[in-house]
Amino acid sequence: MVPFDMSRFDGDIAQTSDQKPITERILDFAKVYLNVVDKCRDAAALVIAKFVTRPDVKTRYLPEFLTWSLDYLSKIDARTQAGTNKMTGILSTLALLFKHGKRADLITHARTVRETVESCDILTVNNSLLRKLYVKLIQRLGLTFLKPRLAAWRYKRGTRSLSHNLAKSVQEKTITDIQVMENENELDENFDVPEDIEDIIEILLIGLKEKDTIVRWSAAKGVGRITGRLPKELADDIVGAVLDLFSFQETDSAWHGGCLALAELGRRGLLLPQRLSEVVPVVLKALLYDERRGAISVGSNVRDAACYVCWSFARAYDPVEIKPYIEEIARGLLIATLFDRDINCRRAASAAFQENVGRQGTLPHGIDILTKADYYEVGKRKNTYLTIRWVGHYN
């Protein structure tokens, strides 16, 4: 971006002709391409988002663009193909704007944007990209409402060195040795959470049950990011709401979204060790999830996401925290590695098992198993059933 004031390009235009300033011409040109269906739309959205958040442009043109976009958005009929294309361009721009813009500049407009976007009822539109952009915008609005901060209560693992775990046996530690940041002096939780956050979290939890993977993935990332800025009590409520998704009354989409959310919470240190006793049994069920629907079955995406949860837990927790559950996790991963019918699930389970062996260092015979049941060897189903299955004799 040009580092100096854009008004320098205009010179004496305002006094000598009726031509618009170059800033307005750039915006008008970019707005035209928000309605196209190719990559020019993505480029135009990025140009506008970067342009209206410039220090020399934002004072006048940021409120003006937001007013124009919200008014334009409220008049679009998303049930038509043309309306869907137009709405996609506007939502892309708003999502990028709330990503690149400064919180101080956007906080005054966030509530108006949220109310207008929610009134469009986008989650009922049969377009996965549109619903994904809606969820992405909602999560960034939530981050705008909350001040940037690292939760003082989050779990922080002390060491992440593979060589340290493999070079020496893991010594027993007391819980007080683990760096769980629970110092009362650090718990800076005396702040008000805007009432908008509750509605935003509800939308993200609905997004975890969406039928399209890209929507669920965006919602899971939003849950993780927003939870990291909340007080401990509210964050624990969100974890409880995510665990409620793992019900046999829920669809495979809800189980998949729940696994993605747990993995995001775990890798960010927002899933405290006290919750592992509830989370691990759920993840083990997800590793075996399979639901018959007529002549076919669904659930491979759930099993794959459950492997991702196990992988993220291996990186997130100290061995002393995960030790009570490591044998159950290893057993579940090994069963999936050998006998899952989908190649992507077998490979995901093998990768998660390898991560647990390397990061935790508490699995007996882990290296021996990995040399036979590695990522490439489990690619052939016949190979896993007839050649590698001997690893099952390990206790």
Higher pLDDT, 198 or 10: 198
d(Cα 41, Cα 29) in Å, to the nearest integer? 12
What's the pLDDT tens digit per position in 93-124?
999 999 999 999 999 999 999 999 999 889 88
Per-residue model confidence (pLDDT) at position 383: 74
d(Cα 118, Cα 41) in Å, to the nearest integer? 23
Percent of the chain with pLDDT strictly greater than 70: 85
Per-residue model confidence (pLDDT) at position 366: 73
d(Cα 40, Cα 329) in Å, to the nearest integer? 47
Please compute, for residue 67, the number of CA atoms within 13 A of its CA located in the half-sphere on the CB side: 5
Higher pLDDT, 265 or 169: 265
Residue pair 317/170 in contact (Cβ under 8 Å)? The answer is: no
Q: pLDDT-derived band of residue 177, with 50, 70 and 90 as boundaries?
A: very low
Q: Which of 141, 267, 84, 125 is nearest to 210 (CA)?
A: 125
Per-residue model confidence (pLDDT) at position 190: 64
Runs of H (alpha helix) within the chain: 13-16, 22-32, 39-51, 58-74, 81-100, 103-119, 128-145, 162-167, 196-207, 213-227, 232-243, 252-267, 276-287, 300-316, 319-339, 343-360, 366-372, 381-386
Mean pLDDT lowest among 58-62, 198-202, 286-290: 58-62
Percent of the chain with pLDDT strictly greater than 90: 52
Q: Which residues contact 35 (CB under 8 A, 6 or more apart)?
A: 41, 85, 86, 89
Mean pLDDT lowest among 81-85, 163-167, 241-245: 163-167
Per-residue model confidence (pLDDT) at position 390: 64
- Which pTM does this prediction carry? 0.87
Per-residue model confidence (pLDDT) at position 3: 66
Per-residue model confidence (pLDDT) at position 2: 59
Per-residue model confidence (pLDDT) at position 395: 60
Higher pLDDT, 20 or 321: 321
Long-range interactions of 37-44: CB distance < 8 A, separation 24+ = 37/85, 41/85, 41/88, 41/89, 41/92, 42/92, 44/89, 44/93
Per-residue model confidence (pLDDT) at position 282: 96
Q: pLDDT-derived band of residue 1, with 50, 70 and 90 as boundaries?
A: low
What's the pLDDT tens digit per position in 152-173?
888 886 545 555 555 544 444 4
At residue 140, the 3 state secondary structure works out as: helix
Burial of 262 (0-12, 13-18, 19+ CB in 10 A): buried
